[in-house]
Amino acid sequence: MTNLKSILINKISCKSIWFMRQAGRYLPEFREIRKKNKDFIKLCLNSNLSSEITLQPIKRYNLDSAIIFSDILMTPYALGQNITFIKEEGPRLSEFKIEVLTKNNKEKFTQKLKSVYEAIKITRKRLEKNKSLICFIGAPWTLLVYMLGLKTEDNKLNLDKYKKHRTQINQILVELNDYLCVHIKNQINAGADVVQIFDSWAGLIPIKDIKDFCYIPNKRIIDFCKSKEIATICFPKGLKDNYKDFNDFVKPDGINLDSELDPIWARSKLKDVVLQGGPDPKILFKTDKEILEVATKYIKTFKDIPYVFNLGHGLLPETDPDKVKMLVNFYRNYNE
């Protein structure tokens, strides 16, 4: 079996499957752990439990890659911003002050995330050698959305706050970049071999600012990773047709397609990159027949080019684990 790093670096066409949020909310074995660990940040910092959760879907489905159980908001946490997770509402961050970035230091930042790196070390030892271990970060813009509270409750850009902070956004993005590169390097040194960069709120950026706030910050990180020979996957969710401009400018090793993208368009327009994902995670709420029809569409569309089977976003809490198993088995046994 070819691991994910080799597929990404060498642009190899072969079968590979994993899922975003594969370790977490939909698995009963995860829920048992979560019941006993109410503080989500503390759970992410529990190295042994984080490793155990990371490996749960590998044990269930024998997926080709593990992704470390953590959260993109561990970065603002390590920078000193207070974070609470509210059930049914999501994360709430304390008021942002620029000193969080300008008066911090890399040693203190690394120390606060030491348990994350230890979890990666533990997992790498327990994971089969031929399987990749994926680490991840939030892209600078997406972290900034949370840190400044730029998103409304209905997931739109808060224009008033955006205009208020407009002049300092570039500074924040540059400062964040340095810490994110430290976090990537530390995770890779601990044993991860691929990094996925989640720009989950890229679709909120006004078109006139998309290059400055999305393309350039992602490219800075990709260029850093290339200098260290680190395999990369970008996920600029919500960019629609701008996926092409993003890919041409940023040049990641892999790019995750969101469920809004037409797979035929993606195959035609996104070049010199390993494609990943695409299907709407909600498809797993459908009948087996409907699930397999969608899976077949993506498999056929990306036949004979480098493609990693995944979804257009993370597995949802309501997902039936048996549906995931059925999909994995179908993909593994699919022959045209």
Range of the domain at 28: 4-333
**Residue 85 pLDDT grade (very low, low, confident, very high; cuts 50, 70, 90):** confident
If you average pLDDT over every residue of the chain, what do you get? 96
pLDDT band at 292; cut points 50, 70, 90 = very high
DSSP H or E stretch at residue 196: strand 194-198
CATH of the domain at 133: 3.20.20.210
Asked whether 211 and 251 are in contact (CB, 8 A), the reply is no
pLDDT grade for 87, boundaries at 50, 70 and 90: confident
Whole-angstrom distance, CA of residue 83 vs CA of residue 173:
20
Task: Give the list of residues 6+ apart from residue 221 with CB closer than 8 angstroms, or none.
Answer: 137, 139, 140, 177, 180, 181, 184, 197, 232
What total of structural domains would you count in the chain? Answer: 1
Residue given tokens 């890229």 in the structure block: 202
Q: What is the pTM of this model?
A: 0.97
Residues 129-185: tens digit of each pLDDT:
999 999 999 999 999 999 999 999 899 999 999 999 998 999 999 999 999 999 999
What does the block give as tokens for 160?
């008033």
Q: Is 9 exposed, middle or buried (0-12, 13-18, 19+ CB in 10 A)?
A: middle
Token pair for residue 69? Answer: 């159980």
| One-letter amino acid for residue 114 of the chain | K
